[in-house]
Amino acid sequence: MLDARHDFEDVSKLTKAEMARFDKEKVDDFKKALEEYSESLAVRQREVSSDSHPLKIDEAKLIVSTRTQVVSSWQHYTDLLVKVIESNASNPSPVATNS
């Protein structure tokens, strides 16, 4: 019975570690996709602006500032998510026993 409990705890730890890794990887992939999308929007905006009229300096600064804010906010969110995942991985919830 004790071996089965240890096996269960080992599998639980491995599962939680794998889920934490998967969550972090998913967040990193989403962040990368968001950055690529944001960059493509900026490129397209520059193309459209150069076709119709030159982009004013203030407008260009606003686009860069907005992009920076989006990436910064996303980075803050992912940092918080990683902390929660790491906290959950290091403090596993107790396993209920039927004694």
Q: What is the pLDDT of residues 45-59, one digit of tens each?
A: 877 776 655 556 777
Q: What angle do CA 22, 41, 53 make, to 5 degrees?
A: 170
DSSP state of 71: H
Domain that holds residue 7: 2-90
Instruction: Please give the residue that has the higher pLDDT: either 40 or 55.
Output: 40
For residues 39 and 92, the model is more confident at 39
The answer to whether 16 and 88 have CB atoms below 8 angstroms apart is yes
Tell me, yes or no, whether 95 lies in a domain.
no
Distance of CA 26 to the CA centre of its chain: 7
| Within-domain flag for 37 | yes
Looking at residue 60, what DSSP letter applies?
H
pTM of the model: 0.44
Q: Is 99 within the bounds of a domain?
A: no
Total number of domains in the chain: 1
Question: Is 15 a member of any domain?
Answer: yes
On whether residue 38 sits in a domain, the answer given is yes
Give the Cα separation of 60 and 48 in Å (integer): 13
pLDDT band for position 11 (cuts 50, 70, 90) = very high
Q: Is residue 83 part of a domain?
A: yes
- Whether 97 maps to a domain, the answer reads no
